[in-house]
Structure 1
Amino acid sequence: MATGPWDCRTHWSFVPMGFRQRCTISTSHPRPFDHVIAERFRDSSRAQPWRADQPLERLIGYFNQRGQDPKGWKDMREAEGRITLAAGQGSEFFARRGRGALGVLCLRLSPRDPQTLRQLRLQAYWDGERHPGIDAPIGHFFAAGARWQDIPALLVGVEGEWGYCYFPMPYWREASLWLVNSSTGPVQCDWQIAWRSRPYPREHAGHFRAWFHREEPTTLGRDYLFLHTVGRGQMVGVVQTMLGGHWCEGDERFYIDGGRSPAFYGTGTEDYYLAACWPNRDFHSPFHGTVGDIVAEASAAGAGPRGFYNFRACYYRFHLDAPIRYESELHAAIEHGGTNDTRSSYTSLVYYYQQDRRGLIQSDALSMGSATKESAHELSAPAATHYPLTQYFEGDDDDVPVAFTVLSTLAPVRCRLDIDPRNLGVRLRRVFDQKEARQWAEVWIDGEKAGDWYDADGNPYKRWAESDFELPPRLTKGRRRLHVEFRPRTGHPAWTLAELAAYSHVEDGPSTAALRPTLTPHEP
């Protein structure tokens, strides 16, 4: 995957590997770089245990049908046309009223030069929205953020003169698509669209959105933002371009549902895009790839050693194998340079689905050290010790001190937490001192075991961490409070608690429509 003076390879697997109780992944490599994405369910029956003979034909087919619509919809209607836009002109080119979903969007541009790719924008308005749900430079939308070339990704890409998008785009009242030409010359665009009138169930689907962002230059000391959004949904992909500086070591850091610890914490930008040993050669898979080869471009231009720093790189990653789901908010960002220390030019487009309402609300929280709060929550931990601690969370704010009082115990600890009786399950969130790794406790709810809460990681330098534990509806639905007990596992470090919160999963959470991400100007 590399084009430098080395030969580096990455190995990846998109095979689903379900488990009901626990999963252990190990390696004998002395210096491994690895990424693992795991999703935990409130209902364990959703996890089908891995089998060596499980069918993989559908997954293998994705590698053999790139550039083709993989959905297999049979009842689509089609339309096509041509639109010509003068400089500065915008125009609607497709509209539908009623319920349905777009399934195919293909565009052919003339010209396809860098200015057009940056300054011709695709906009989509769903169900009477005031602001577009999609507002994207046309190049980024088709994963051609730096150059137009064949990009054989599964749901978004380029084949010859045509860019294609096969993401389903549901609507329940109306859909409107626009092209806006901010370039200095005319643009001609041929379009092909296919849709069907069969509606998605409104309660289980969201609008398809794409949010563009750019920073020129990047902000020293702060992560580059992919997306901050409030609501309920899932992030399904990102296209990113980078120019200037040794940016390859920046780690992705994604925070889910207001968490203070990153739920996703990577090992470098090239690793996030499942490549290795930057700079990377042109390569593509259904789910990730590098668009172009900046080393080859620099060499052809006679740019000399390290001249590739002055050529814009482009990557894409689609989380179709493991969508990044969130119930109340998502903050997705990535470092620039090894420690946010480069002044580079970054652009990105994030694809996501969202309902503008929260599906997770905080119902109660207990901070240790306050006798009044501990009494109100019926805290019982007679064998515990308490100590004050000022420390740091990992992530973008790892230089911001945070003070808590920590409860530490090898014996059972009990408390009461209020919850919303409308809940469809409850998430417990624990702030703890991760100086000692492999803290393990059984979780009991009103006398019934709910499972084991185990945190493998430890960090003696950034000691604060948050961890989540999902409770199934059978233990929580219809109840207004829970009696929670933690029974630390013998032979493991003390169980530590600085804060314990209960979040209720709800179907009809408060609206977040007024908190939509602010649009970023496409050009300085």
Structure 2
Amino acid sequence: MTPLPMLNLLGQLPFQTGAVTRMINAENPTGEKGGGAKWVPNPEDPMLPHSGPAMHLGKGWKVRPFISVKAGETALLADIEGPGCINQFWITTSADEWRTLVLRMYWDGEAAPSVEVPLGDFFAMGFDTQPHTVTSLPVVVAPHRGCSCYWQMPFRKRAKITLSNDGKNDVRIVAYKVLYKLHEVPADAAYFHAQWRRSLTQREHPEHTILDGVKGRGLYVGTYLAWTALSRGWWGEGEVKFYLDGDGEFPTICDNGTEDYFGGAWGFFRDPKKEPVEEPYNTPFIGMPLAHTSGNDGPRYFGLYRWHVLDSIGFERDLRVTVQTLGWWPGHIYQPLTDDVASTAIWYQSEPHGAFPVLPGVNERWQR
């Protein structure tokens, strides 16, 4: 057995030599050995609409680097026979509105997806009108909207990834790649899950539910919030709460406040006394890559991530996660806020998983 000090990110590399490694993309849709770059240029072929630039070079020269996804269609990005583990997923598209595109992932033949999230939100980039970079360990968005995910996704029998275009416009370019290794998966390995929710909080109960209905044994590993502050002034005073294993009215884990949960302090300001303007920041595990504000008046847009990589939250039976939306009234009194919050929760658990809430239609996803 490998000594525990070696079981870290870099320490695993010497023990992976010879692993069967494959990649699925538009050039090799099945990931088969020796199956890449076999297309012959033919712009008249519906499967090869982007092959024109390669006509003078011929077969094997970037003939099918992308796919297109028509309005109302669902594209099958990957269908892999296991056992194995997806190690990297990268994607970009020419679409302007990524909330119209829905990413779904299915493990071992399940009917309901374990991942169901609008494409941008999965990569901590929820606001279509505010594209930005993300520099973190498991998720990276490089200029311009080149999205990489390094969450490890094991499967035993089969892994399937789809992308649905719920919008009214065809998406001319979808470029993607799924890199994976084929190997045995330990019996106690859990499955990757991600779920999206959105709510307009109410003054009577200023709280957004990040995750609920999770049953089974698992590990919570990530939160992304796309937060529209609709009022002037400070918006991040509310607490993030984790209700674990039968918790009722009160949670077992209650974080100090929104800015504390995402690693800030005294707000997210450059200088709370001299320059109270939120400052974007990126780190490996916590960040606010988007802070779109032209002053202290709303609405303002904030994107925040917290990856629980070294501080994951385990649960044995069930899990619920919430965040309050609180600001300040004069006189140092908490002000309940009506804010527009969309969340992506990321966790691992044993299957089967509980039913997800019905994903809202395109109009109900729009946040700007």
When normalised by structure 1's length, the TM-score is: 0.53
- Partner of 2:134: helix, strand, or coil? coil
Q: Does 1:105 align with 2:89?
A: yes
Which one of the candidate residues 175, 181, 196 is aligned to 1:212?
196
**1:396-423: CA deviation from partner (whole Å, max 9, x where unpaired):** xxxxxxxxxxxxxxxxxxxxxxxxxxxx
User: What's the counterpart of residue 306 of structure 1?
Assistant: 296
Which one of the candidate residues 338, 356, 360 is aligned to 1:517?
356
- Partner of 2:236: helix, strand, or coil? coil
Kept in 1, the 8 Å contact 2:201–2:325? The answer is no
User: What's the counterpart of residue 288 of structure 2?
Assistant: 290
| CA distance in 2: counterparts of 1:514 and 1:212, whole angstroms | 15
Give the superposition deviation at 1:71. Answer: 11
Give the superposition deviation at 1:192. Answer: 1.1
Kept in 2, the 8 Å contact 1:126–1:175? The answer is yes
Which one of the candidate residues 297, 318, 334 is aligned to 2:307?
318
| CA distance in 2: counterparts of 1:192 and 1:148, whole angstroms | 21
- Partner of 2:336: helix, strand, or coil? coil
Kept in 2, the 8 Å contact 1:206–1:233? The answer is yes
Give the superposition deviation at 1:517. Answer: 3.2
Give the superposition deviation at 1:514. Answer: 6.9
Q: Does 1:151 align with 2:131?
A: no
| CA distance in 2: counterparts of 1:169 and 1:100, whole angstroms | 9
| CA distance in 1: counterparts of 2:100 and 2:200, whole angstroms | 16
Q: Does 1:337 align with 2:326?
A: yes
Unaligned runs of 5+ in 2: 27-65, 269-277, 328-333
Which one of the candidate residues 175, 184, 196 is aligned to 1:199?
184
User: What's the counterpart of residue 170 of structure 1?
Assistant: 154
User: What's the counterpart of residue 251 of structure 1?
Assistant: 239
Instruction: Evaluate the alpha carbon distance shift between residue 134 and residue 240 of structure 1 in structure 2; reply closer, same or farther with a 3 A threshold.
Output: same
Give the superposition deviation at 1:242. Answer: 1.1
Kept in 2, the 8 Å contact 1:214–1:347? The answer is yes
- Partner of 2:260: helix, strand, or coil? helix
User: What's the counterpart of residue 27 of structure 1?
Assistant: none
Q: Does 1:186 align with 2:131?
A: no
| CA distance in 1: counterparts of 2:139 and 2:13, whole angstroms | 11
**1:445-500: CA deviation from partner (whole Å, max 9, x where unpaired):** xxxxxxxxxxxxxxxxxxxxxxxxxxxxxxxxxxxxxxxxxxxxxxxxxxxxxxxx
Query: Match for 1:120: what amino acid?
Result: L
**1:88-107: CA deviation from partner (whole Å, max 9, x where unpaired):** 22121210123111111000
**1:314-341: CA deviation from partner (whole Å, max 9, x where unpaired):** 1000000111100000111111115682
Instruction: Evaluate the alpha carbon distance shift between residue 290 and residue 514 of structure 1 in structure 2; reply closer, same or farther with a 3 A threshold.
Output: closer
| CA distance in 1: counterparts of 2:13 and 2:356, whole angstroms | 30
| CA distance in 1: counterparts of 2:15 and 2:286, whole angstroms | 22
Q: Does 1:262 align with 2:251?
A: yes
- Partner of 1:312: helix, strand, or coil? strand
| CA distance in 2: counterparts of 1:264 and 1:71, whole angstroms | 37
Larger Rg: 1
Give the superposition deviation at 1:226. Answer: 0.8
Give the superposition deviation at 1:222. Answer: 5.0
Give the superposition deviation at 1:217. Answer: 4.4
User: What's the counterpart of residue 101 of structure 2?
Assistant: 120
Give the superposition deviation at 1:171. Answer: 1.0
Query: Match for 2:102: what amino acid?
Result: R
Of 86-95 and 134-143, more deviation after overlay is shown by 86-95
- Partner of 1:293: helix, strand, or coil? strand
| CA distance in 1: counterparts of 2:321 and 2:13, whole angstroms | 27
| CA distance in 2: counterparts of 1:136 and 1:326, whole angstroms | 23
Kept in 1, the 8 Å contact 2:215–2:353? The answer is no
**1:54-110: CA deviation from partner (whole Å, max 9, x where unpaired):** x89x68x89xxxxxx999955221222122112222121210123111111000211
Give the superposition deviation at 1:520. Answer: 3.3
Which one of the candidate residues 14, 22, 25 is aligned to 1:77?
22
CA RMSD of aligned residues (A): 2.7
Give the superposition deviation at 1:184. Answer: 2.6
- Partner of 1:95: helix, strand, or coil? strand
| CA distance in 2: counterparts of 1:84 and 1:94, whole angstroms | 15
| CA distance in 2: counterparts of 1:173 and 1:156, whole angstroms | 26
Give the superposition deviation at 1:294. Answer: 2.1
Instruction: Evaluate the alpha carbon distance shift between residue 514 and residue 179 of structure 1 in structure 2; reply closer, same or farther with a 3 A threshold.
Output: closer
| CA distance in 1: counterparts of 2:15 and 2:284, whole angstroms | 17
Kept in 1, the 8 Å contact 2:216–2:353? The answer is no
| CA distance in 2: counterparts of 1:516 and 1:347, whole angstroms | 19
| CA distance in 2: counterparts of 1:352 and 1:171, whole angstroms | 15
Give the superposition deviation at 1:175. Answer: 0.9
Residues paired across the two proteins, number:
295
- Aligned sequence identity (%): 26
Give the superposition deviation at 1:313. Answer: 0.7
| CA distance in 2: counterparts of 1:73 and 1:522, whole angstroms | 43
